[in-house]
Structure 1
Amino acid sequence: MKDIAIKVYYIDGTTDECEIPYDSEIAKEIIREIKSDQTNCICFGSTFVYKSAVKKIDIRPYKPEIHSTSDKKGR
């Protein structure tokens, strides 16, 4: 299942990021709220974010970071 990462940049310089399943109702609702001119806030699970406090929102495919370990080399 594909996941998406949503990163919110606030006007005060802080950020929030979450990963959610792309096909989930939560993802569809968040994207709907972001695009809507009728709502003034976005709900991320139990967190409400006011659009007036948001500078930018990035929505992209979630790619987990792969951490390489040097102790496996040469074995």
Structure 2
Amino acid sequence: MECRKEKNLEKCSCTYDYCERKGLCCECVAYHREHGELPGCFFPAEVERTYDRSIEAFIRCHQKSKK
């Protein structure tokens, strides 16, 4: 399947500008999965900016949003 990098970049919320996987969603997901993390687009903006991509950070921020 052909990558739609330019289209993906329109919605990419990752603020790490130097990432070589930016806009390459399948590579981004695979990279973070290998590291026990989630991609930045899974997080609210204020949490994404911390660059804490841990599963624990994901759970914390989404538990807070339910309260």
Same fold (TM over 0.5): no
Q: Which has the higher helix share?
A: 2
Q: Which has the higher strand share?
A: 1
Q: Normalising by the residue count of structure 2, what TM-score does the alignment of the two structures yield?
A: 0.28
Q: Normalising by the residue count of structure 1, what TM-score does the alignment of the two structures yield?
A: 0.26
Q: Which protein has greater RCO, CA pairs closer than 8 Å, 6+ apart?
A: 1
Q: Considering only CA atoms, is the larger Rg found in Structure 1 or Structure 2? A: 1
